[in-house]
A = this chain, B = another copy of it.
Amino acid sequence: MSTSLADVARISGVSTATVSHVINGTRYVSPSTIEKVQRAIASTGYRPNPYARALRTATSESIGFVASDVANTYSTSVMRGIAGALRTRGYTLLVANADEDPALEREAIEALVERMVDGLIVAPTTSTDPISFEQIEEIGVPVVLVDRAVPLDLDQVLVENVDSVAEVVGQMLDAGHRRIAVVGGRAGHSTTTERMQGWRKAHTDRGLVCDESLAVLDVFDASRARHATERLFARENRPTALFSMSNVMSLGILRALSDLRLVIPRDVSFAAFDDIEWIDLLDHPVTCLAQPTEEVGSNAVELVLTRIANPAVEHRVVRLAPSLCDRGSIAEPPRGRRTV
């Protein structure tokens, strides 16, 4: 069927060793034989068999990406960054979808490791057990984590959460808000923890105390976020401002606000983590902290390839800054509207 290296060797009248070396440029070969070999390659349309190579070298020239959810634009945007960075280097991308399920995630990781990916980039699911990453380390496949920090000595590409959130929440406070709710994120996750920290920091920096009951965590899909928001506004002392922990949450929150006929920022100020492509189409768009998602992907590739080349380098944690897209959704709190 397909031509093999041996065929090329026979046709060009040299040994397989020479052909191999010509292909890989791995030792000196005289120009004339190079010529011959290349002609044979061209005429046969020979392409090396990556599996034979993988078997021999225990290297696959591929890296795996485990997406927490391929349907989430965050994952796909990171993936885009990864694919782009990888392409120029001749690496193949294997993708597995964890679908927000830790069990599937583990399966996915194993499947990829089994495939001898030279490295692994993982966007952990919402409730991944750090232990699995320790296991990965033992397996010896370079792993880079994105999005969520784990307290392990691993390469990680993260975004800066504390200060960025503090800045936005600070804007709310400075506008006069004193009841700023936070919606979304799973308790215990670094992103959640850090963004919460930013929320608190904004308060304490101004000598204010924040009402922890305004933080609705452990909400991790749009419809839950919607209900959480509805409940927040059903309370006696309703918030005057809202901060969304992520794009998915924002969708639910916006639905709730729309149902409640609350106009941004007249009735409620709103800002969110993650930028949203269509947000400017709303009558009242939302100020967002846009994550540099594609950069997250390309940085992860950078880290993983560096480690592949030199497994002994110290682990690095890269923090990328989100950028603030001000769309005027933060204003002064409404006056004298304590009740509906």
Residues on A lying within 8 angstroms of B by beta carbon are: 1, 47-52, 54-55, 60, 62, 70-71, 73, 76-77, 79-80, 83-84, 87, 92-97, 99, 104, 107, 110-112, 114-116, 140, 251, 254-255, 258, 276-278, 280-283
> Contact at B54–A83, with CB atoms within 8 Å?
no
Highest count of chain B CB atoms <10 Å: which of A110, A258, A281: A281
Q: How many copies does the complex hold?
A: 2
> Contact at B80–A76, with CB atoms within 8 Å?
no
Contact of A87 among B84, B104, B115 (CB under 8 A): B104
Contact of A76 among B70, B92, B114, B280 (CB under 8 A): B70
CA distance A251 to B258 in the complex (A): 20
Shortest distance between the CB of A181 and any CB in chain B (Å): 19
Shortest distance between the CB of A250 and any CB in chain B (Å): 9
Residue of B nearest to A294 (CB): B71
> Contact at A77–B71, with CB atoms within 8 Å?
yes
Evaluate whether A92 and B115 lie within 8 angstroms (CB atoms) in the complex, with A277-B251, A280-B255, A281-B258 already known. yes
**Beyond known contacts A51-B51, A83-B99, A92-B112: 6 more, CB 8 A cutoff:** A50-B116, A51-B116, A71-B77, A87-B97, A92-B94, A94-B95
Residue of B nearest to A282 (CB): B281
Evaluate whether A96 and B71 lie within 8 angstroms (CB atoms) in the complex, with A50-B115, A55-B51 already known. no
Q: List 30 A-B contacts (CB under 8 A).
A: A1-B140, A50-B115, A50-B116, A51-B55, A51-B115, A70-B76, A70-B79, A70-B80, A70-B83, A71-B76, A71-B80, A73-B73, A79-B95, A79-B97, A80-B97, A83-B95, A83-B96, A87-B97, A87-B104, A92-B94, A92-B96, A92-B111, A92-B112, A92-B115, A93-B95, A251-B278, A255-B280, A276-B278, A282-B282, A283-B283
Residue of B nearest to A91 (CB): B111
Contact of A93 among B76, B96, B116 (CB under 8 A): B96
Chain B residues with Cβ below 8 Å from A70 are 76, 79-80, 83
CA distance A278 to B285 in the complex (A): 13
> Contact at A94–B96, with CB atoms within 8 Å?
no
